[in-house]
Chain A
Amino acid sequence: MLRKRVAMQDVEAESRLFSQRALVAMLLVMLAFGVIIINMYHLQVKSYQVYQTRSEGNRIKVVPLAPNRGMITDRNGILLAENRPVFSLELVPEQVENMTETLAELAQLIEIPDELQQSFLRDVRQQRRFNSIALKEQLNDEEVAIISVNLHRFPGVTVEARLSRHYPFGNLFTHALGYIGRINTNDLKRLEESDQLANYAATRDIGKIGLERYYETELHGTMGYQEVEVNNRGRLIRVLRSVPAQSGKNIQLNLDVGLQLTAQQLLEGKRGAIVAMDPRDGAVMAFYSNPSYDPNLFVHGISSTNYNALLNSPDRPLINRVTQGVYPPASTIKPHLALLGLETNTITPSTRIWDPGFFQLPGVEHRYRDWKRWGHGWVDVYSAIIESCDTFFYDMGVKLGIDRISDYMNRLGFGEKTGIDILEESNTNMPSRGWKRARHNQPWFHGDTVAVSIGQGYWTSTPIQLMTTTAALLNNGMLPIPHMAKTLTNDAGTEQVSTELQPTVNVVNPRNWQVIRDAMEQTVSTQKGTAFNAFRGASYSSGGKTGTAQLVKIAQDAKYDANALDERLRDNAMYVGYAPAENPSIIIAVTVENIGGGGSTAAPIARQMLDYYFSAGVNNDE
């Protein structure tokens, strides 16, 4: 502070300096204005003729044309998403002489709720006066007729026909197809980033979720345009040149309407998911999550009442349980673990252990219970899978250790996304030491491994992942990438969606595949098998694995009593099955929330799905 005061302020010199600088600034400003003036002289005087001519030419206007969105069909060509013409009543404010009068007269002709009139007037205030603004959308035929007859009385009023998306099966395909809706700010941002904005100049809707979103680029097509001559009020005089829009590609799916309907019936009144595919190529034939909702509600903008009802429903219909339902995989992963046990020689096909009904870690009092309180007696790897013995896997899991389990299951596809052709797929967790350290800042305990050994604890999966990872067991380690779309077709031709499989684990002893597949087959075919009752008398051979995921921890020595538990805390029932047992052409995963045992609830549902599959010959076309 002192030093500053020492240097005396020379007020006059400073003032002179500033004046100098201000003068320089003023000169620069004048120079800049000079540049502007020279430029203006150039534009307005020297090139006047050129621009005058081009200004006349400006009466040619380029009108973008929206392409027709591609349609979506099931595997047999049945329409699942189509475009229907809808009529809307629109007004151009600039051309309407008396807005209040016009509205009143229109309201006498057809019913126009006050709410619509208010939102229309709001739009009028916000938009340019020469824009056409919709007063009422989705007019019925009668309304179109009434307005059309009286159109001459109302200058500036038009009935516009637009194509609008329609999903004829309502809530049957919602979680697979998704829906389209008005382009919003986020969509615009995405389009701008992908340099697609110009292509959407005439488009009003965009795929929001599901296949509609995933295949947006393919379904949308390429914009066309018309060069039209317009008069000075913007009215069209004639079309000079027309470059037609290129329709989007039609998509044929692998899904089957019949299988979907069966799935919907079977899940009626339940919360759950059914997904089925061809394990040989990943073609998804059924994809259903219950409860569902009507996607048509979203196409014209869903009302907030309807939306809140969906959002706040305790059954959570907006969740796509096939890909977003994150559940403990429970016993369904026992074949996977058995393969690892065999491969590492932790067990052999003839290794037997005694199951007293519980498992104890050495030197620890705690008893990890088997689902069968009195135990399974002597069990080997076959009976451990067939009867779903927990103790056998507790023992094997602890011997394997989390590192080997985590690494191997990761390679089989657990903890990874399946890559199905929709974006709504949740992350799942294949726990490891590193994960627990990062997530909970705790070391890994043996007890954690015990829980993981029967697909509980930190291990989570989705129905679709259970299905694909089990399919890898049927394909000798080749993991299918599930896809609902089969072909994309436009005028240029048809392209096939990739059916490539992904290699996973290298098996040292190929005989081990047969061991676990035999065990899964015997789960269905032998009397002690957990799925025996469900598949008794089926006309085809099959294999599978049941699972019952525990959602609440049961106290030591307490008995699980379903009736005493709150409904939403009851066990999840699961079944992953395939058929025929040799060379399977279908694999199915069934998950039903809070309903009880996998063998008693989920397996019978899978049975009925497979019954339909074979009797209707769903996959017989190739």
Chain B
Amino acid sequence: MNDSLVNSRHSNSRLAFFHIDTPLLLGLLALVSYGLLVLYSASGQSERMVEAQIIRLGVAFAVMIGMAQISPLTIRRWSLPLFIVGTLLLVAVLMFGHIGKGAQRWLDLGFIKFQPSEIMKLAVPMAIAWFIASHNLPPKKRHLTVGFLMCVIPTLLIAKQPDLGTAILIAAAGIFVLFLAGMSWKLITFIVALVSAFAPVLWLFGMHDYQRRRVLTFLNPESDPLGSGYHIIQSKIAIGSGGVHGKGWLQGTQSQLEFLPERHTDFIFSVLSKEFGLVGVLFLLAIYLFIIGRGLLIATRAQDNYGKLVAGSFTLTFFVYVFVNIGMVSGLLPVVGVPLPLVSFGGTSMVTMMAAFGIIMSVSTHKRSMAQT
């Protein structure tokens, strides 16, 4: 087959020895550097915050490189156990979890507090890919049903915490696997229709008051200018006043970004838009598009179906992060707590994301060993 072709392309790269995909690495580095630049400004020129972010990035990149060394075969073997452990931990969180900021997401193990939902961001698509890939593609109806259940159960457990943002991301990651595996268009249309019909039911019975408020505010932010609509209005003002060329680096915060809450975390895109304008936004989108494109390319070139599905799903989930965050701060989507990947200040989700990229790199560079399956 075309193994030799793919392999020859890789043997040229010096980094290939460390199982690193050079274009992807360069894309990520460009993104991270750009992000640090914006963070310095958004944090009110806090060197301490930038330092903390660099340390976190260091850890995240180390995790990525570490994951890249593991053969996809091994990763594939871990998929199901990881999924089972993760699901049990989610149940544990609901039962004994630590309450932070009004939601129950953390599990306190004494020495460390962590969010099992982070594990599930990887485990859900991995386990579904493992299951679907162990049968022929396109998947049969009963395989799809099992795949759906593997996706829906953890999603509901997380939505119950309540953590709507993460629940959406995990649901998306699972659905992407099924979509990429070749679920029929007919079924896709049917599900889209079903979900739109189900939305009013969810609204009435499945949502917390604050979640409902967020959606209402999204539909009409001006209705609550002192409450939660404030975020969206301030963010849109910041973005709009950036214009084509922006106010210039470090020029945004001093004037009025003080009015923007969470400006170094979820709303960092507003700072970027204000200081670097439309030009800066297009540059950021270009980097994201490059990373997504590279990820999908690696997925199509992957040796086996498991690798294809996992790499594809991770890449598309990464896209969902970008889209939901930018959509939220620019008023296209309701406010859900999703960071701008690798740019927002913050820890756990960054490490998870880089672990995902590590797995993508592993899929792209461990070709030979895969051939033996």
Contact = CB atoms under 8 A, between A and B. Distances in A.
A185 B244 contact: no
Given A18-B308, A45-B244, A192 B210 contact: yes
B240 A44 contact: yes
Given A51-B239, A55-B255, A17 B135 contact: no
Given A44-B240, A55-B256, A198 B227 contact: yes
A14 B44 CA distance: 52
Given A14-B305, A25-B180, A58 B236 contact: no
Nearest to B293: A26
B102 interface: yes
A196 interface: no
A35 B288 CA distance: 15
A41 interface: yes
Nearest to B45: A129
A405 B116 CA distance: 54
Contact of B46 (A25, A47, A129, A233): A129
A43 interface: yes
Contact of B243 (A48, A128, A189, A225): A48
A54 B237 contact: yes
Could you say which of B135, B180, B293 has the most chain A C-beta atoms within 10 Å of its C-beta? B180
B243 A19 contact: no
Interface string B317-346: 001000100110011100000000000000
B277 interface: yes
B239 A232 contact: no
Nearest to B246: A44
B136 A43 contact: no
Contacts of A94: 44
Could you say which of A40, A59, A62 has the most chain B C-beta atoms within 10 Å of its C-beta? A40
A540 interface: no
B353 interface: no
Contacts of A58: 234, 237, 256, 259
A22 B296 contact: yes
A50 interface: yes
B171 to A, nearest CB: 16
Contact of A55 (B100, B238, B285, B289): B238
Could you say which of A14, A37, A188 has the most chain B C-beta atoms within 10 Å of its C-beta? A14
Contacts of B100: 185
A36 B323 contact: yes
Contacts of B1: 11
B179 A7 contact: no
Given A40-B273, A52-B240, A129 B179 contact: no
Contact of B136 (A14, A25, A41, A47): A14
A43 B240 contact: yes
Interface in B271-293: 273, 277-278, 281-282, 285, 288-289, 292-293
- Per DSSP, chain A at the interface is helix
Contact of B241 (A21, A48, A62, A129): A48
B255 to A, nearest CB: 5
Given A36-B326, A232-B254, A44 B273 contact: yes
A34 to B, nearest CB: 10
Contacts of B236: 43, 51
B95 interface: no
A9 B136 contact: yes
Contact of A29 (B238, B259, B292, B331): B292
A193 interface: yes
A18 B243 contact: no
Contacts of B46: 129
A26 B176 CA distance: 12
Nearest to A128: B44
Interface string B240-277: 11111000000000111011000000000000010001
- By Cβ-Cβ distance, the 4 closest A-B pairs, closest first, are A51-B240, A55-B241, A58-B256, A14-B137
Interface of A: 4, 7, 9-11, 14-15, 17-19, 21-22, 25-26, 29-30, 32-33, 35-37, 39-41, 43-45, 47-48, 50-52, 54-55, 58-59, 61-62, 94, 125, 128-130, 185, 188-189, 192-193, 195, 198, 225, 232-234
Interface of B: 1, 44, 46, 48, 99-102, 135-138, 176, 179-182, 209-210, 226-227, 234, 236-244, 254-256, 258-259, 273, 277-278, 281-282, 285, 288-289, 292-293, 296, 299-300, 305, 308-309, 312, 316, 319, 323, 326-327, 330-332
26 contacts: A7-B136, A10-B136, A18-B137, A18-B305, A22-B180, A25-B316, A26-B292, A32-B319, A33-B285, A36-B326, A36-B327, A37-B281, A44-B277, A45-B244, A48-B240, A51-B240, A54-B240, A55-B241, A55-B255, A58-B234, A59-B256, A130-B44, A185-B101, A193-B209, A198-B226, A233-B254
